[in-house]
A and B are shown apart, each in its own frame.
Chain A
Amino acid sequence: MDLSPRTFRITRADLVRYAGASGDFNPIHWSDRFATKVGLPGVIAHGMFTMALVGRAVTDWAGSPDAVVEYGVRFTRPVVVPDDDEGTEIEVSATVRGEPEDGLTRLDLTATCQGEKVLAQARAVIRTPA
């Protein structure tokens, strides 16, 4: 299985689009004024947006979008998204845990932003690609 690491860029425009598509309009994901008022360094990405991007890597690695059997993460650190054209990036990688069993492969997932892990206990179980 090719587990080449993936990089995803996240800009403010992505957060606006995700807010609309997901129905999560919490202002910490679009208003610096609100985000700083509640003690954040600035606007942060939806945890579920980060999880969705990592999920894209997982489905790519699995070779099929319907090959994911289980997928879970813990959100440990906010992904701060500056208000500029570059935004920020998350880097996503995976290692296989143990031996494939009953046609299933377990992946340990890592997602980092600015060199810091943003998820813990990030794991997926996928159908072992043919």
Chain B
Amino acid sequence: MSLDPSFVGRSYPPTEPYQVGREKIREFATAIGAVDPVYHDPEAARALGHGDVVAPPTYPFTITMAANRQIVDDPDLGVDYSRVVHGDQRFRYTRPVVAGDELVCVNTIEEIVNRGGHGFMTTRTEVNTSAGEPVVTVWTKLVVRGEG
């Protein structure tokens, strides 16, 4: 399906603060088989200079995926979510997410391309603490497959 390119550059209001829990990081690390103590043991994380257990590098996507619903559920943009496929994913870290962080996402539509009957949309999500400290920038390219 085709996406309206005039949405490029549109930003959305900051999301409600997300509380990063220690047990959630442990659960995520366990689910991906990441056994390094820095993901599980606050003492090991503190030895590396972090305030609490550290999240694995792809953990922020669990937050931004939910935050991105602002865009894919925007009725004016009209994305058919049942036709969405994850195309590209990129993270640029200022620092790792750690337990105790309170994170706010600001979504921007960075690029829209329509090609071969499919729509390609790249979103950029700035993930900051609620105090405004930058943590990670997350780019997601979604492919909205055409009919048939």
Which residues of A does B touch, CB under 8 Å?
Answer: 8, 14, 17-18, 20-24, 47-49, 51-53, 55-56, 58-59, 64-66, 68-75, 121
**Chain B: minimal CB distance from A59 (Å):** 7
Q: How many residues of B contact A (CB 8 A)?
A: 34
> Do A75 and B87 touch across chains, with their CB atoms under 8 A apart?
yes
Chain B residues within 8 Å of A, Cβ to Cβ = 24, 27-28, 30-34, 36, 38-39, 48, 50, 54, 56-58, 61-62, 65-66, 85-93, 95-96, 139, 141
Chain A residue at minimum C-beta to C-beta distance from B96: A66
In the complex the two chains form, what is the Cα distance from A80 to B125 in whole Å?
Answer: 29
Q: Is the CB of B57 within 8 A of A20?
A: no
Contact A121 B57 (CB under 8 A): no
Whether A59 lies near B57 (C-beta < 8 A) is yes
CA distance A121 to B92 in the complex (A): 15
- Check B90 against A72 for contact (C-beta < 8 Å): yes
Further 15 A-B residue pairs, CB within 8 A, beyond A22-B61, A71-B57: A17-B31, A22-B65, A23-B65, A49-B32, A55-B32, A55-B58, A56-B34, A59-B56, A69-B93, A70-B92, A71-B91, A72-B88, A72-B91, A72-B139, A75-B87
Chain B residues positioned under 8 Å from A17 (CB to CB): 30-31
Q: Which residues of B contact A71 (CB under 8 A)?
A: 57-58, 90-91, 93
> B50: which A residues are within 8 A, CB to CB?
66
Whether A48 touches B61, Cβ cut-off 8 Å, given contacts A65-B39, A65-B56, A75-B86, is yes
Nearest CB of chain A from residue B72's CB, rounded to whole Å: 13
In the assembled complex, 17 residue pairs joining A and B whose CB atoms fall closer than 8 Å, in A order, are A14-B33, A18-B31, A20-B31, A21-B32, A48-B61, A51-B89, A56-B32, A59-B57, A65-B36, A65-B96, A66-B38, A69-B92, A69-B93, A70-B93, A72-B88, A73-B90, A75-B85
Q: How far is the CB of A53 from chain B (nearest CB, A)?
A: 6
Tell which of A14, A52, A73 touches B88, judged by Cβ atoms closer than 8 Å.
A73
Enumerate chain A residues within 8 angstroms of B56, measured Cβ to Cβ.
52, 55-56, 59, 65
Of chain A, the residue at the smallest CB distance from B36 is A65
> 3 shortest A-B CB distances, which residue pairs?
A72-B90, A21-B31, A52-B32
For the complex, give the distance between the alpha carbons of A2 and B90 in Å. Answer: 24
